[in-house]
Amino acid sequence: MSDIYKLLAKHFLNETSQEEEILIEKFKKNQKKEYNLLLMLWSNGNVSVKDFDSNLALKKIKQQKNTLAPIKKLIPRRTIIKFASIAAIFMIGIFTFYYTNFYNPTILKLNNTNSIMEISLNDGSTVWLNSNSSLEYTKRFDENNRGVQLKGEAFFEVTKNPEKPFIVSTNNSNTTVLGTSFNVISEKENTTVSVATGKVQVANKNGSSQVVILPGFSANVKESEVISSEIKNQNYLSWKTNILEFENNTLEEVRVALEKHFNISIIIQNEDSNCQFTGKFNNANMDEILAVMSYTFSLDYKIEEKNYILTLKNCK
Amino acid sequence: MLVDNNKAGEEINFDEIFHQYYSPLCNYALKIVKDVSTSEDIVQTLFIQLWENKKLNSVNNLESFLIRATKFKCLDYLKTNYIKNEIKYDSLPEVIHTNKKNIEEEDIEPLLHYFTAKLPPKTREVFLLSRKSGLTYKEIASELEISVKTVEGQMGRALRMMKKVLKENEFLSLLLFLKI
């Protein structure tokens, strides 16, 4: 078989004998592709080989390498991509870790509507936020102590968790509970906390003065002094329940409840503390209440510059 | 041969490989870029890169790899300089703007020159006298003062090496797809 190339070379140069041609024909038949390929290569143009001096070239590239190598030490692209990928994965990991463990944005609920805003917190507690009030807390507020900040008025129904007290801060007080329902009103320098169920601890900001109050009692924080007293306005939750209930209340007491409930100003003329009023209003508006009252009290009323002026004639 | 990984060994290997392939690869490149110093630059750059990347130790079929790397560097050069308008359009080989079939056909001439440059000196002398000068076996025999049998032997050897280069470099299988 090794001789076939000798024959092929002769064949291409037309130097074969007739006997040899027979062998070539056989090769041609059996290995047509290889034959054609060699023929194509063989018959391809002029062959003119130039001698390149590899000694000189090697000297040259060794010089070049010595001068260039330290500077031109390129990092292969694949390596860069590899490291970049690793770095990217790390950064995503760090970000995810940070996001799940530390990312804790502050949430501010601001109620500037006329209706009540109901807020459900992570720990299961519910807050009813009155108009013109705001509640501030962090997304993960229940991680250590459950702390929220209040401006305005809100009613809290706190889920029990003895390990994590729920703390409502106003600008001058901290109210601490473990699980109960209570109302907090925070005005400028005056905070009033009224308890519906459970037990609540109310303290001033620095904790120097504090009281524990029970249902039916309220605590008032004013000028860093905490004073507890019985709840006088039994309608303190009317803003939330929309129920106004009076039982042998004087007109003055009714006035306070109505002013607060409807956020209006009422002036009473000819007040008589002997006149007492009993009644219950469910979802009633001011006009309906006044109609009922004027019937009971023999009462004149008019509206002047957004003030209701009630003139008492005589008790019935 | 390329297993030795220490520095001295690597350098010996490098020199050896360089001497073995430099001239054939330059001849190969010359047929594509048609410029002597450019083809030398291309092959030298290739070897510098191989040296720096320590690639020589990890290449399976070194010869095939070197030929292909040279080819791609040449085509790259042509494309770049074609864009720069430094090469006249008519001097562009077909490789750049034809389909794959023609690319393979275009491979033959550079490959023939690579192969010829790689032949041992005596075989090459005989081969060139026949192929380039068109002398008969008898004329070659008297020119070189050797027997006709020797000439026959050298020519057969040349052809066998030619086939070997094609086969080892997988060009054979590629070219076999062509209907010649």
Closest residue on chain B to A5 (Cα): B156
∠ Cα A41 A43 A46 (to 5°): 100
**Chain A residues in contact with B179 (beta carbon < 8 A):** none
Q: What integer pLDDT is reported at residue A92 of this predicted model?
A: 92
Q: Which residues of chain A have pLDDT under 50?
A: 1-2, 69-72
Q: What integer pLDDT is reported at residue B55 of this predicted model?
A: 64
The token duo for A35 is 């034959």
Tell whether the torsion through CA atoms of A236, A237, A238 and A239 is positive or negative.
positive
Given A5, A55, A69, which is nearest B160 (Cβ)? A5
Q: What integer pLDDT is reported at residue A67 of this predicted model?
A: 65
Q: Tens of pLDDT along B113-130?
A: 888 898 888 888 888 888
> What amino acid occupies position A99?
Y
Could you tell me which of B66, B60, B96 has the C-alpha nearest to residue B78?
B96
Q: Does A40 touch chain B (CB under 8 A)?
A: yes
Cα A210 to chain centroid distance, Å, stands at 34
Cβ separation B108–A55 shorter than 8 A = no
Question: pLDDT-based confidence at B40, cuts 50/70/90?
Answer: very high
Q: What integer pLDDT is reported at residue A252 of this predicted model?
A: 84
Name the burial class of residue B45, with classes exposed (0-12), middle (13-18) and buried (19+) by CB atoms within 10 angstroms of its CB.
middle
pTM for the model stands at 0.45
Q: What integer pLDDT is reported at residue B99 of this predicted model?
A: 42
Q: Tens of pLDDT along B54-112?
A: 666 666 778 888 888 888 888 888 887 766 555 544 445 544 444 444 445 566 788 88
Q: Which residue has the higher pLDDT, B103 or B7?
A: B7
Cβ separation B163–A61 shorter than 8 A = no
Look at residue B6 and tell me whether its pLDDT is greater than 50: no
**Chain A residues in contact with B159 (beta carbon < 8 A):** 5-6, 8-9, 38, 42
Q: Tens of pLDDT along A29-84?
A: 888 877 877 777 777 667 788 888 888 888 888 887 766 544 445 567 788 888 89
Q: Map tokens 């004027």 to a residue.
A: A294
Mean pLDDT of chain B: 75
